[in-house]
């Protein structure tokens, strides 16, 4: 009676079928689409913010009336000392300079810089331009007075630079990139952990699990669900990474694109490990209850761990070598959030990363085993909350 | 041959099944009856691998039922279960695929079954938007969509209107004609009596009676004979040897005949009193058989 169209499934095929259903239903789900959209907008917002901060902080435009090459040089030298790019615009008379300041074309305008009483026009006092001009005018005056007194200035000796930590800036930058990455990683872990948990309870509360388990084993159902949602999470992570990296490069926010990409890859790798951990924990916890209303009570402990990891990772970005961040970067469950920040900041040796990854992998293996057992034991018990112990020793 | 062989199952101190055995031949419709809590659902769940028997086995074509065999069984659980937010058509396709069909045949089968069970126009609707009756049809379609070799249905008729009952009955009979053994449980004994070739009555974890309805009737103790003899004097029947009077209302008596007593002797005695307007064996209905079977074991158990 068995027709040729019907062939027995291998476990892998069943897992793929389950995963396919998870992806195709979730990808059309409003909650998922809105969540993804919000995350992407958030990333773009951060980029725009960075661009705005950068463009505001590092350039000063000065208008000069009656300037000279010496004046321009002095202003730019002073600007360099104050870590700002000074560009000088010459104006013919005070009226033109005044208009330019009022219109915001320049930050300030300097009138008759070589005179005894130079004047600086600003919209309001207290900007970088003021300090630059003050320093430059003083310097020129001192040089002039010395020259008048017949002192011949010899060029001062050049200081040799010995950089003890040439990457310090890059480290900070990478740590910030890693922190942004961890924000995304944290949001996606919470989001997809919730999806896994809700999916498990949905199947239990609607009793469809009985029909499913008549055709497959609990581990196949669990694996399909976790893998399907995991692939979707990874895809979303990649989309965000590509948008983030492309945006950062396009707007020239970062100085070392190579390190940026390295950090992003690290974060993605830790996302995979973190997802395997949290998805298994959330699924096992969710299998204990039969109603969506009871879900919060069982997944709160795991969610709290995730929040703790996130808080520590923010702290780690400021102090990547501190004891707290060092210790927690090895603790399975916390390591996916803390270690990428330490790695990016250059504070973790390669063997430390290896140890953290191995610890995480071992823990995942244990959790998949124990969690799978809880899941199989609790899946067919409906009504009320199943006790953890009962689920563990449950025979069907 | 679907064989349920000596199933035992206890949940804690509660011994639910105590050696349940019955067989269902290909093309046979088997009605599984029993009072609430008798163990019908547990038996079916064991057959579907959703519960593990403490002892005993379920076999199909002589082979112990494992996952591969189970994928060829269409199952309808007592607690209905579908994805509430999934569309009818997609859901049926998914279940067909889980049972081993390829994508294209699965989609075709889903379409066919939705059409046949009157859900053609609702294929694009989410299950949660359907009425309970229609959800029930989807549930049945999910059991049938993979063209299964065996059907095990737990209370498939509960909650259906008479038209729904008829269309479900027709669908099941068609499966029987296809050679599929069908097992279903029901409390609607009139329906079981009408549809089923064989019946099993479960009480206190055991099959207390099984066979065709005819067999059950002949095996039932206390077949009763009703005789109406309008002119007969009261007490005429009690005088016939080997006869016990169950009830006597004027000329209308119901009798139980002892072993070896000839019903023709009774007829002769009745005719001797004058006219006889009614003389017939009263066939017990399945409801009476069920009551008899269930109360017998209660008495034994008590």
- State the sign of the Cα–Cα–Cα–Cα dihedral A100, A101, A105, A111: positive
Decide if the complex's ipTM is over 0.85: no
Pick the closest to residue A28 from B126, B108, B80 (CA basis): B126
Report whether pLDDT(B161) > 80.
yes
Which of A8, A20, A211, A378 best tests the B interface by mutation, with the highest count of B CBs <10 A?
A211
d(CA A16, CA A281): 21
Report whether pLDDT(B96) > 90.
yes
Cβ-defined contact of A214 to B97 (cutoff 8 Å):
no
Q: Where are the domains of chain B?
A: 2-212, 221-283
Number of H helices, E strands in chain B: 10, 14
SS3 state at A89:
strand
Which residues of chain B does A206 touch, with a Cβ-Cβ cutoff of 8 Å?
81-84
Q: Nearest C-alpha of chain B: how many angstroms from A266?
A: 37
How would you label A84-105 residue by residue, b for 16+ Cβ within 10 Å and e otherwise? bebebeebeeeeebbebbeeee
Q: Where are the domains of chain A?
A: 14-50+170-392, 59-148
Of the pLDDT bands very low, low, confident and very high (cuts 50, 70, 90), residue B219 is: low
pLDDT mean over A309-335? 90
Chain B contact for A217, CB < 8 A?
yes
Q: Nearest C-alpha of chain B: how many angstroms from A272?
A: 28
d(CA A325, CA A341): 9
Which B residues in the span 126-165 are in contact with A, Cβ-Cβ below 8 Å? 142, 146-147, 149
Count other Cβ atoms within 10 Å, centred on residue B153: 24
Count other Cβ atoms within 10 Å, centred on residue A115: 9
| Total residues belonging to chain B | 302
pLDDT at A280: 92
Report whether pLDDT(A385) > 80.
no
d(CA B130, CA B136): 9
d(CA A41, CA A218): 38
**Cα–Cα distances in angstroms (integers) from residue B39 to residues A395, B11, B20, B28, in the given order:** 18, 11, 9, 22
Radius of gyration of chain B (CA): 24
Which residues of chain B does A11 touch, with a Cβ-Cβ cutoff of 8 Å?
none
**Which CATH code is given to the segment(s) B2-212?**
3.40.50.300
pLDDT at B297: 54
Lookup: tokens for B143: 């059991």
Of the pLDDT bands very low, low, confident and very high (cuts 50, 70, 90), residue A154 is: confident
Domain A59-148 has CATH 3.40.190.10: yes
Cβ-defined contact of A6 to B98 (cutoff 8 Å):
no
Q: What is the pLDDT of residues A270-300, one digit of tens each?
A: 999 999 999 999 999 999 988 888 898 899 9
DSSP state string for A198-251: HHHHHHHHTTHHHHHHTTS-HHHHHHHHHHHHHHHHHHHHHHHHHHHHHHHHHT
Which residues of chain A does B80 touch, with a Cβ-Cβ cutoff of 8 Å?
207
d(CA A169, CA A254): 11
Report whether pLDDT(A4) > 50.
no
How would you label A314-346 residue by residue, b for 16+ Cβ within 10 Å and e otherwise? eebbeebeeeebbebbbbbbbbbbbbbbbbbbb
d(CA B107, CA B123): 11
d(CA B128, CA A99): 69
The residue in chain A having the minimum alpha-carbon distance to the alpha carbon of residue B84 is A206
Q: What is the pLDDT of residues B249-272, one digit of tens each?
A: 888 888 888 877 888 888 888 898
SS3 state at A246:
helix
pLDDT at B76: 92
Which residues of chain B does A15 touch, with a Cβ-Cβ cutoff of 8 Å?
none
Cα dihedral A31, A34, A40, A46, rounded to 10, equals: -110
Which residues of chain A does B45 touch, with a Cβ-Cβ cutoff of 8 Å?
210
**Cα–Cα distances in angstroms (integers) from residue A154 to residues A65, A130, A135, A329, A337, in the given order:** 30, 29, 20, 55, 56
Chain A contact for B94, CB < 8 A?
yes
Q: Do A291 and A313 form a contact (C-beta atoms < 8 A)?
A: no
Report whether pLDDT(A41) > 90.
no
pLDDT at B302: 36
SS3 state at B60:
strand
Q: Which CATH architecture has domain B221-283?
A: 2-Layer Sandwich (3.30)
Of the pLDDT bands very low, low, confident and very high (cuts 50, 70, 90), residue A394 is: low
- Give CA A309 to chain center in angstroms: 14
> What DSSP designation does A140 have?
H
Q: Nearest C-alpha of chain B: how many angstroms from A208?
A: 4
**Candidates B52, B95, B149; nearest CB to A211:** B95
Of the pLDDT bands very low, low, confident and very high (cuts 50, 70, 90), residue A319 is: confident
Which residues of chain A does B100 touch, with a Cβ-Cβ cutoff of 8 Å?
6-9
- Mean pLDDT, chain B, integer: 87
Cβ-defined contact of B99 to A14 (cutoff 8 Å):
no
Report whether pLDDT(A383) > 50.
yes
Cβ-defined contact of B100 to A1 (cutoff 8 Å):
no
| A366 vs B296: which has the higher pLDDT | A366
Lookup: tokens for A168: 């310090």
Q: Do A305 and A334 form a contact (C-beta atoms < 8 A)?
A: yes
Which residues of chain A does B142 touch, with a Cβ-Cβ cutoff of 8 Å?
211
Q: Nearest C-alpha of chain A: how many angstroms from B266?
A: 54
Sheet holding A59-65, edge to edge: A85-91, A59-65, A108-111, A119-122
């Amino acid at each position: 009676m068995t027709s040729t169209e019907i062939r027995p499934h291998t476990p892998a095929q069943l897992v793929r079928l389950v995963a396919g259903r998870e992806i195709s239903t979730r990808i059309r789900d409003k909650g998922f689409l809105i969540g993804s959209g919000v995350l992407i907008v958030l990333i773009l917002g951060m980029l725009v913010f960075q661009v705005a901060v950068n463009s505001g902080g590092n350039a000063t435009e000065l208008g000069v009336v009656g300037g000279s090459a010496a004046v321009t040089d002095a202003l730019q030298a002073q600007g360099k000392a104050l870590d700002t790019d000074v560009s000088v615009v010459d104006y013919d008379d005070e009226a033109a300079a005044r208009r330019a300041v009022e219109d915001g074309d320049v930050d300030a305008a300097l009138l008759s810089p070589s005179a005894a009483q130079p004047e600086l026009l600003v919209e309001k006092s207290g900007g970088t331009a003021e300090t630059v001009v003050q320093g430059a005018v003083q310097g020129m005056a001192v040089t002039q007075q010395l020259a008048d007194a017949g002192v011949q200035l010899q060029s001062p000796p050049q200081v040799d630079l010995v950089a003890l930590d040439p990457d310090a800036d890059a480290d900070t930058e990478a740590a910030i990139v890693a922190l942004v990455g961890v924000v995304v990683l944290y949001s996606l872990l919470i989001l997809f952990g919730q999806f896994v948990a809700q999916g498990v309870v949905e199947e239990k509360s609607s009793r469809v699990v009985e029909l499913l388990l008549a055709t497959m084993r609990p581990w196949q159902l669990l694996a399909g669900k976790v893998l399907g949602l995991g692939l979707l999470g990874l895809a979303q992570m990649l989309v965000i990474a590509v948008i983030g990296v492309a945006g950062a490069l396009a707007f020239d926010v970062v100085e070392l694109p190579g390190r940026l990409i390295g950090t992003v890859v690290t974060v993605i790798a830790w996302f995979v490990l973190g997802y395997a951990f949290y998805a298994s924990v959330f699924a096992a916890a969710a299998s204990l209850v039969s109603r969506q209303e009871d879900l919060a009570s069982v997944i709160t402990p795991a969610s709290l761990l995730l929040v703790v990891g996130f808080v520590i990772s923010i702290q780690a970005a400021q102090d990547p070598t501190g004891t707290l961040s060092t210790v927690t970067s090895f603790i399975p469950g916390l390591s996916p959030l803390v270690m990428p920040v330490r790695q990016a900041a250059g504070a973790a040796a390669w063997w430390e990363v290896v140890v953290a990854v191995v610890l995480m992998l071992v823990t995942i293996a244990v959790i998949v085993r124990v969690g799978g057992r809880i899941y199989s034991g609790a899946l067919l018990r409906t009504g009320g909350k199943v006790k953890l112990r009962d689920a563990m020793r449950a025979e069907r | 041959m679907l064989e349920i062989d000596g199933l035992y199952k206890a949940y804690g101190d509660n011994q639910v099944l105590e050696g349940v055995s019955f067989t269902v031949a290909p093309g046979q419709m088997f009605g599984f009856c029993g009072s609430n809590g008798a163990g019908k659902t547990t038996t079916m769940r064991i057959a579907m691998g959703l519960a593990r028997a403490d002892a005993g086995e379920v076999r199909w074509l002589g082979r112990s039922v494992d996952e591969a065999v189970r994928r060829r069984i269409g199952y309808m659980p007592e607690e209905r279960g579908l994805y509430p937010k999934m569309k009818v058509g997609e859901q049926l396709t998914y279940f067909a695929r889980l049972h081993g069909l390829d994508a294209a045949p699965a989609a075709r089968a889903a379409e066919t079954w939705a059409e046949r069970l009157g859900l053609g126009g609702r294929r694009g609707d989410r299950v949660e938007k359907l009425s309970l009756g229609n959800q029930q049809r989807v549930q049945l379609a999910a059991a049938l969509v993979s063209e299964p070799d065996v059907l095990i249905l737990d209370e498939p008729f509960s909650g259906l209107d008479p038209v729904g009952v008829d269309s479900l009955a027709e669908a099941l009979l068609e499966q029987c004609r296809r050679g599929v053994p069908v097992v279903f449980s029901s409390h609607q004994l009139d329906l079981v009596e009408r549809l089923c070739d064989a019946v099993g009555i479960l009480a206190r974890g055991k099959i207390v009676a099984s066979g065709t309805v005819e067999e059950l009737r002949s095996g039932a103790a206390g077949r009763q004979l009703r005789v109406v003899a309008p002119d007969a004097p009261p007490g005429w029947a009690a005088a016939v040897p080997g006869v016990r009077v169950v009830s006597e209302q004027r000329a209308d008596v119901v009798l139980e005949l002892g072993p070896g007593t000839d019903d023709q002797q009774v007829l002769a005695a009745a005719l001797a009193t004058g006219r006889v307007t009614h003389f017939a064996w009263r066939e017990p209905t399945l409801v009476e058989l069920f009551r008899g079977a269930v109360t017998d074991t209660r008495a034994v158990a008590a």
